[in-house]
Amino acid sequence: MERIVVVGAGHMGSVIVRGLLDGMPQVEVVIVEPSAERRASLDGRAELAAAYEPRPDDLLVLAIPPQAFDSFADGLPRGACAQTTVVSIMAGVRLDTLSSALGTGTVLRAMPNLASRVGQSMTVLCPGDAVPAAGVDRAKGALSVIGKVLVVQDESLLDPATAVAGSGPALVAYLAQSFTDFAHASGFTAEDALLLTSQVLRGTADVLSEPGVAPESLYQQASTPNGTTAEGIATLREHRVRESVGAALEATMERARELAG
């Protein structure tokens, strides 16, 4: 039986485990969590362990804080991960660092986002040069339980991916707050204001997913000359909202690069 081991039972690790248990029942899922208190609260369908005991052909998902990686790697026997496919969701830990510390070339980096909690993550996956196609497919299949997966070959793309896909949901939520605040201030209940906003975002996302549709064509199509939408778009341009969002994404990307050293 295929075995997938998730190290770390924080938010993202727990979400991945739940997705694996629900979406891949044929797979043996192991959660490695040093804290006995936290282990007691985890999904009982998975095997629980306090430490990682490597097996050949494991798919190992590292969902620990970056600052905990050195301690984890130092605690493994030399060569323990030689036949292991490793997927890291740790921000800022480069492929060469993973490979050197774990003693294996079959390492991949993944950048999921908070929409994984509802199975709608946009995860960007980057394999190391030594990862065979079968290893990429295996990692992609495992991460597909939390949403869509985009495979890229250039590790430098993970920095802008951190901005757009990783931090994107939080940035969009920040903008969405303006919609809910306006609707609530205009007389809608807080619940209805959130319903209006969330459905607008959901519907817009679905339209943007249609073939041949781009954001610019969508808002231009909706902007009848001298109409309400055109007035709103003109105001956004006047306040340079597009440039402000671009600056926020740029700052997020630069911070990702700083964390990676």
Residue spans of the domains in the chain: they are: 3-153, 168-260
Q: Give yes or no for residue 261 having a pLDDT over 80.
A: no
| pLDDT given at position 193 | 99
**Rounded mean pLDDT, 79-92:** 93
Structure tokens at 232: 């709103």
Determine how β-strand 121-127 pairs with β-strand 28-32. unpaired
Other Cβ atoms within 10 Å of 64 Cβ, number: 24
Structure tokens at 28: 């043996």
Helix (H, G, I), strand (E, B) or coil at 32: strand
What superfamily does domain 168-260 belong to in CATH? Answer: ProC C-terminal domain-like (1.10.3730.10)
pLDDT of residue 258: 87
Position 1 scores a pLDDT of 82
> Per-residue confidence at 44, pLDDT binned at 50, 70, 90?
confident
Calculate mean pLDDT across residues 180-184: 99
Condensed to tens digits (0 to 9), the pLDDT of residues 122-142 reads 999 999 999 999 999 999 999
pLDDT tens, residue by residue, 200-246: 999 999 999 999 999 999 999 999 999 999 999 999 999 999 999 99
Residues of each annotated binding site for NADP(+): 63-66
> What average pLDDT does this structure show over 67-83?
93
- Percent of the chain past pLDDT 90, that is, above it, reads 91
Question: Does residue 2 register a pLDDT over 80?
Answer: yes
How far is the C-alpha of 118 from the C-alpha of 201, rounded, in Å? 15
What pLDDT digit, counting tens, does each position of 18-27 carry?
Answer: 999 999 999 9
Could you give the CA distance from residue 49 to residue 33 in angstroms, rounded to a whole number? 6
pLDDT in tens, 151-165: 999 999 999 999 999
Where is the binding site, in residues? Answer: 63-66
The radius of gyration of the chain's CA atoms, rounded to the nearest angstrom, is 21
- Burial 203-224, CB ≥16 within 10 A → b, else e: eeeeeeeeeeeeeeeeeeeebe
In this predicted structure, what is the pLDDT of residue 29? 97
> CA 17, CA 38: separation in Å to the nearest integer?
14
219 vs 230: CA distance, rounded Å: 9
Strand partners, 101: none
CATH superfamily entry for domain 3-153: NAD(P)-binding Rossmann-like Domain (3.40.50.720)
Determine contact, residues 47/29, Cβ cutoff 8 Å.
yes
pLDDT at 51: 94
What does the pLDDT read at residue 140? 98
DSSP string for 41-103: TS-TTSEEESS----TT-EEEE-S-GGGHHHHHHTSPTTTTTT-EEEE--TT--HHHHHHHHT
Q: What six digits make up the tokens of 125?
A: 């996956």
